[in-house]
Structure 1
Amino acid sequence: MKVHANQIDTSPKWRSLIRDFKRLIAISLIIAVCAGLMYAFTFRGGLSTDNGDWGTFGDFMGGVLNPIFGFAGLMALLLTISMQSEELNNSTRELRNSAEALKEQGESLKKQNFENTFFQLIKLHNDIVNDIDLVGLNNKQTRGRDCFRVFYERLRAVYNNKWDMGISERDKIRISFERVYHKSEGDLGHYFRNLYSLLRFVDERGKSKEDKQFYARIIRSQLSVYETGMLFYSGLYGKGKDKFKPLAEQHALFDNLDSSILLNGDNHRDIYAAGAFSNREAGTTNSSSSSVNAACDTAQ
């Protein structure tokens, strides 16, 4: 709130001080008049032409009035100093309030810029999804999010093929995903890169853990069931393992994931640390992720 200098003149405190000071001046003048009248009645006579008489009168009036006017002058000086001090304090408060208002305005602008960029990335994500199209048998065309059902059915079909007895479950998933990804790399590569950029933006630019969780929920709400399935297994392939997977665990990207969509149900949940499935664990499981994956590899 702004504090103006003219508020000093109208505040009850200063009105009272100025009123008292005016009373002091009036009393001083009354005393001066009374002293003059007392002198006149005590030493009756007309106006003297003798310098000595005037000197005596001046000494009398000075002795009576000098202390009074000196005291009044001191009070006036103290009042002026006090008013200047109050005005300085008001100016300091005004500057402090202005600085706080500018800080709040800056924070609000940062948040506005963040959200503008965030929702632009969300829009870009949806545009990328809507631009995907596949042409199947009999020139049947599939567009948008329905394409991820096709991608996931291809992934499941490759995964369910017969494999050599010695191959690990992790390698089986990785090879299956590689085959599907390379067949549609133009569409899937663009999709995965943009979603990674979106998660990374929230991770690096989000102000607090609560803010990051809020924006991560918005990202999750954009994903269909089959998109979530494809993203889940992208964490075992190429750069997804080193870049996307830690962010998914950090921000609970697979919170409320239905295990029935996974290629081997709950048995594949151990691919990710617990933070990928719960906001309560998110942000605290980066160090445990490697140990979980190591345990899975050992078991396989």
Structure 2
Amino acid sequence: MKQIITYILLFVGCILLLFKFLYENVPSTESDMLLRLYYIGGIVSGIFAFGAFFVAILTYYNQKKTGDLQRFETTLFNMLQLQQQITNELRYEDTEPDRNPNHGENTGWRTIEKRGRDVFEYFWLSKWFSFREIVDGKISFDEKSWYEGMVNVLTSRGSEAYNQLIEITIFDHYFRHLYRIIKFVDKNKELNDEEKYDYTSIVRATLSRFELVWLYYNSLYGTGKSKFKPLIEKYALLKNLRDEFLTISKDVIEKDYFRKYQMIIDDYQNYLTTDKNDKSKYYIGAFYNSRDKESFIKAIEDFKNSPAAKLDK
């Protein structure tokens, strides 16, 4: 509205200046005042007609922009509602060992039932995952190793194990739709970068702590690495991640930081970088809003000055 008023005032000002110019510069042969006014009136009426057309076009443009924004927001919030429905409908039911099967044969079994966001936490901390072992160069159907929670799978077997477990495909629909929501915002050409960040922040606010943990590893080790990870870094979707819930993967343990530098480096520190071109790690923009220049620059400087950043990783 302020923009329209500004245009109108500029237009009226131009008309007044033009009126003054025409009044003072009409050829002297048309000395009669009435003829002079007719002459000026004909020109001014044409200008006003053009001005009315211009205002109509401007009004249409603003109404269209408002309508497009309303349709975008309606679609976005419908997608968010569907995402919540997908999350709430997550369901895991199975029988699992009631204690560590690696410790003996007398392991009992219990029925497990988890729903909604509890599935993320249970799979990360408590679900028993099993892997068949290789004996004499062959996969054994009798020998299995068990690990409690994905947190211990990654610590013991590393990133390769992430995509070997068919059980975690339970989250595939969840991640696909979450990716589509962020991409839907990112591809909107009517929004500027700040507006896109504001809308993706609404999405980020709906994610629980263990959803963020799974999002971190899905885009680091899993199917989200090529397409979803760049959007995570662009819109700081992991800004609310609590890094203490992450683990130290076997890949990081094998780098032997403690023996070399007497330092314990976890996955967050190991896979953090200020190099946008390093696709094997998370650009720092995944955790800090790059639009807040002062805070973002400080975060980069703090990272560069940290002991972990100076290690040979």
Mark yes or no: TM-score above 0.5: yes
The letter of the residue matching 2:284 is A
Whose helix proportion is higher, 1 or 2? 1
- Whether 2:132 is the aligned partner of 1:150: answer no
Residue 238 of structure 1 deviates from its aligned partner by 4.5
Could you say which structure has the larger radius of gyration?
A: 1
8 Å CA contact 2:238–2:286 kept in 1: the answer is yes
- For residues 114 and 292 of structure 2, what CA distance do their matches in structure 1 show? 36
- Whether 2:194 is the aligned partner of 1:184: answer no
5 Å matches for 1:10-29? none
The letter of the residue matching 2:171 is L
**1:44-85, CA deviations, whole angstroms, 9 ceiling, x for partnerless residues?**
xxxxxxxxxxxxxxxxxxxxxxxxxx989x433222222222
- Whether 2:154 is the aligned partner of 1:196: answer no
8 Å CA contact 2:219–2:229 kept in 1: the answer is yes
**1:165-219, CA deviations, whole angstroms, 9 ceiling, x for partnerless residues?**
xxxxxxx1x2232244x2131x211111111111111111161111111011111
The letter of the residue matching 1:176 is A
- For residues 272 and 109 of structure 1, what CA distance do their matches in structure 2 show? 37
The letter of the residue matching 2:207 is L
- For residues 161 and 30 of structure 2, what CA distance do their matches in structure 1 show? 99
- Whether 2:242 is the aligned partner of 1:232: answer no
- Whether 2:42 is the aligned partner of 1:84: answer yes
- Report which stretch shifted further, 193-202 or 84-93: 84-93
- Whether 2:285 is the aligned partner of 1:275: answer yes
1:19 alignment partner in structure 2: none
- For residues 50 and 232 of structure 2, what CA distance do their matches in structure 1 show? 48
Whose strand proportion is higher, 1 or 2? 2
- Whether 2:160 is the aligned partner of 1:160: answer no
The letter of the residue matching 2:282 is Y
Unaligned runs of 5+ in 2: 9-28, 96-109, 126-148, 249-265, 273-280, 297-308
Q: What RMSD, in angstroms, separates the aligned Cα atoms of the two structures? A: 3.2
8 Å CA contact 1:274–1:282 kept in 2: the answer is no
Residue 243 of structure 1 deviates from its aligned partner by 0.6
Residue 222 of structure 1 deviates from its aligned partner by 0.9
Q: Structure 1 residues 133, 239: CA separation in 2 closer, same or farther (over 3 Å shift)?
A: closer
8 Å CA contact 2:237–2:286 kept in 1: the answer is yes
- For residues 234 and 177 of structure 1, what CA distance do their matches in structure 2 show? 9
2:228 alignment partner in structure 1: 244
Residue 94 of structure 1 deviates from its aligned partner by 1.4
The letter of the residue matching 1:78 is R
Residue 100 of structure 1 deviates from its aligned partner by 1.0
Residue 119 of structure 1 deviates from its aligned partner by 1.1
5 Å matches for 1:213-232? 213-232=197-216
- For residues 280 and 215 of structure 1, what CA distance do their matches in structure 2 show? 15
Unaligned runs of 5+ in 1: 4-69, 164-171, 285-295
TM-score by length of 2: 0.60
- For residues 292 and 197 of structure 2, what CA distance do their matches in structure 1 show? 9
